[in-house]
Amino acid sequence: MAQENGNSKGNGKINIAIVGGGIAGLALGAGLKKKDNVTFHIYESVPGYKDVGAGLALHMNAIKAMALIGDEVKQTYFDKALFMGEEDKEMSTEVILAQGPNKGELVAELGKAKGRKTVARSALLDGLLELVPKANITFGKKLDSIDETPDAVHLHFQDGSDVTADCLISADGIHSLTRRYILGADHPATEPKNHDGWQIYRTMVSADFAKQHINPKWTQQVPILLGPRGHINCIPLDKGTRLSAGVAVRGAKFTPTGEAPPLDPAIYSDYSAEAQAIVRLVARDTSASWTAADHDHAPTYYKSHVSMIGDAAHASMPFAGNGAAQALEDAAVLNHLFSRVTHRAQIPAAFSAYDSVRRPRSQEVVDLARKFGRVYAYAEEGMHEDPGRMKQFFAGAAAFTNNADLVRQNDDAMGLFEAAVKGGEGGEEVKAEDAVEIV
Ligand SMILES: Cc1cc2nc3c(=O)[nH]c(=O)nc-3n(C[C@H](O)[C@H](O)[C@H](O)COP(=O)(O)OP(=O)(O)OC[C@H]3O[C@@H](n4cnc5c(N)ncnc54)[C@H](O)[C@@H]3O)c2cc1C
């Protein structure tokens, strides 16, 4: 049935359902609430956010993406973030070889800056939530299935309720149900994978306790100590009062039921003394450990009036520290595109433009994060024996993630959308893939 005013509700506005109230879903909502041409509602499965102690460092591209959605979004991050250590102290991530003939060599200093910050995921979510009107979000609402009719997208929830919308933008995380809907349950890229067998052993302790066991420097400064049986990392949190310490092991020998073996400090006896001390600290309590996974490349991020963003579209290993940043870039692009969508029939063109600019870049970050893991594990041929090559790799990665021109990314998407809409009105059809060069 054709809609006279081009949307399913008959109120003249495009009605968007967002599933998942994580960083991607809330940031998108914070932008959409400022638009007169759309209404939206966020459906989040959990009843409330829990503090799982995870700290995020948001890099330059994340800050730029938040600013594009709105200065208040960027400000929320700065209000919620805490200094890793002392405010006026210069900090960097020191990447050091912990094993082999060059043991002890500093191969890179990443992100050297005064007053480096991290934000607890739960604190960032609380801040973003304050930017979304309460009436526009429902907690405890778990999406169970999706279907589409010519006029609407239908969402069916686990509590038996149904919702109809003009389109669905799903930000439902790495185990996304929407990804299954878009790609198909049997598509090889649908389920997350752990190709390299990564297991992250992690502990959270007070900095005072850590100082009794490890080099006190690493309660104030971030090390990544590299070696073939795992890289070791410490992240000072909350102005240097708490420490998250971990060992990321590539090629862990999981049991057939998926259990990771216990962390055995004995197999690190050829690592540097300070690396061994951190392994022993982590091995005391590995209850904060987890098994990492990421997504193989999806051939598309949308189908008709349903799209996916953030980890649902491109979950990556944590080693490049850019997953949330990519989720924010997605939200920035869709927020920009939806300022011009006035008719339901234009939505696939908006999703196609989003897919064209965001899929190549976000999937390159997935690949980059895998490569970080291999470099850290001495598995990238000969690189650990050539610190110059390693430095070049880190510099190139930082330039790719941080220095991207996100205004241009938004503009490119809008150009594609407008060309497609114009094409649909009788002009020549423009194929999104042919018309854009990705930054
Ligand atoms: C240890 C660790 C460290 C990291 N460090 C960094 C870092 O330093 N910098 C960085 O940029 N990134 C980092 N990341 C990545 C970052 O955390 C993620 O990329 C980001 O949180 C993704 O946000 P999202 O909103 O797409 O997904 P999520 O945060 O996973 O949110 C998805 C939401 O959808 C909800 N949901 C799921 N299914 C349903 C359903 N069926 N119905 C309704 N709701 C549903 C979930 O409850 C959840 O709230 C790190 C990740 C990890 C694990």
At 30-54, the pLDDT tens digits run 999 999 999 999 999 999 887 665 5
Do 232 and 281 belong together in one domain?
Answer: yes
Is 391 a member of any domain?
Answer: yes
Domain membership of residue 100 (yes or no) is no
Rounded to the nearest angstrom, the distance between the alpha carbon of 217 and the centre of ligand 1 is: 30
194 CA distance to ligand 1 centroid (A)?
17
Answer whether 20 contacts ligand 1 (Cβ < 6 A). yes
Same domain, 353 and 377: yes
pLDDT of residue 52: 60
Is it the case that residue 378 has pLDDT exceeding 80? yes
Q: What range defines the domain where residue 217 resides?
A: 194-291
Q: Give 206-216 pLDDT, tens digit per residue.
A: 999 999 999 99
Query: Lowest-confidence range among 62-66, 213-217, 392-396?
Result: 392-396
Average pLDDT over residues 197-213: 95
Choose one of 51, 311, 368 to mutate for the ligand 1 pocket test, by most ligand atoms within 8 angstroms of C-beta. 311
Q: Are residues 363 and 410 in the same domain?
A: yes
Task: Specify if 110 maps to a domain.
Answer: no
Query: What was the pLDDT predicted at 86?
Result: 67
Asked if residues 97 and 226 have their Cβ atoms less than 8 Å apart, the reply is yes
Q: Is pLDDT of 85 > 70?
A: no
- Torsional sign, CA 171, 174, 176, 180: positive
How many whole angstroms separate alpha carbon 176 and alpha carbon 190?
9
Question: Higher confidence at residue 382 or residue 305?
Answer: 305
Residue entry with tokens 């999806």: 298
Listed residue (30, 47, 37, 25) closest to 132, CA to CA = 30
Are residues 148 and 223 part of one domain?
A: no
DSSP notation for 316-384: --GGGS-HHHHHHHHHHHHHHHTTS--SGGGHHHHHHHHHHHHHHHHHHHHHHHHHHHHHHTT-STTGG
Average pLDDT score, the chain = 90
Q: If you measure from the C-alpha of residue 291 to the centroid of ligand 1, how many angstroms do you get, rounded to a whole number?
A: 15
Distance (Å) from CA 327 to ligand 1 centroid: 9
Residue 316 sits in a domain whose CATH number is 3.50.50.60
Indicate whether residue 323 lines ligand 1 (CB < 6 A).
yes
Chain-centre distance for alpha carbon 265: 31
Q: Whose CA is nearest to atom 27 of ligand 1?
A: 173
Inside any domain, residue 56: yes
| Partner residues linked to 156 by β-bridges | 145, 162
For residues 175-187, average pLDDT: 98
Check if the beta carbon of residue 336 is closer than 8 Å to that of residue 412: no
Q: Identify the residue whose C-alpha is closest to ligand 1 atom 3.
A: 318
In this structure, are 279 and 209 located in the same domain?
Answer: yes
If one counts the domains in the chain, the total is 2
Q: Is 409 within the bounds of a domain?
A: yes
Do 175 and 57 lie in a common domain?
Answer: yes
Q: Which of 258, 276, 291 is the last residue of a domain?
A: 291
* CATH code for the domain in which residue 205 is found: 3.30.9.30
- Asked whether residue 423 is domain-assigned, the answer is yes
In 3-state terms, what secondary structure has residue 423?
helix
In this structure, the number of other CB atoms found within 10 A of the CB of residue 33 comes to 15
Residue 235 lies in a domain: yes
331 and 383 in a single domain? The answer is: yes
Is the pLDDT confidence value at 128 over 70? yes
* Residue 69 within a domain: yes
Provide CB contacts within 8 A for 148, sequence distance 6+. 154, 304, 305, 306
Does 428 have pLDDT greater than 70? no
Ligand 1 atom closest to Cα of residue 327: 26
Domain-ending residue, one of 255, 274, 291: 291
Residue 55 above 90 pLDDT?
no
Yes or no: say if 162 and 70 are a contact pair by the CB < 8 Å rule: no
**Mutation test of ligand 1: which of 45, 116, 198, 200 has the most ligand atoms closer than 8 Å to its C-beta?**
45
Q: What is the pLDDT of residue 439?
A: 24
Ligand 1 atom closest to Cα of 313?
Answer: 26
pLDDT in tens, 312-332: 999 999 999 899 999 999 999
Tell me how far the alpha carbon of residue 311 lies from the centroid of ligand 1, in angstroms: 6
Shared-domain flag, residues 170 and 301 = yes
Q: Are residues 329 and 237 in the same domain?
A: no
* Residue 4 reports pLDDT greater than 70: no
Looking at 244, 267, 291, the residue that finishes a domain is 291
Residues 21 and 162 in one domain: yes
- Are residue 315 and residue 346 in the same domain, yes or no? yes
Domain match, 153 and 271 both: no
